[in-house]
Amino acid sequence: MAGCATTGEVIPIQIEGVDHIVKRMKSDEFSWWAREKSFLGGFIDPNDFRQNIMAIELVSGCKVDLGTVRNQGLETIARVDCAN
């Protein structure tokens, strides 16, 4: 499934036993958004952001450019570098 997501398509993926959803941003083919599928629990854990980055990398097939990572609530937006 890596690298096959299209703009607007929400891709479900499991990271370390936790369900996540990932989506390519419409504004930029190299920008991605990820979060846990469920908001139940209601607290922010630093592992959420790490897992979001892992989810983006697995679905996109590219490495996240860590200088572009933006976290808000339980969501992460980041650009990927597919050149490597």
Q: pLDDT tens, 8-18?
A: 789 999 999 99
- The full set of domain ranges for the chain reads 10-81
Q: What is the pLDDT of residue 1?
A: 39
**For the chain, what's the residue count?**
84
Distance, CA of 30 to CA of 17 (rounded, Å): 26
Q: What is the pLDDT of residue 3?
A: 47
CA dihedral 60, 39, 43, 48 (to 10 degrees): -10
Token pair 């650009």 is found at 79
Counting residues of the chain whose pLDDT is more than 90, the rounded percentage is 65
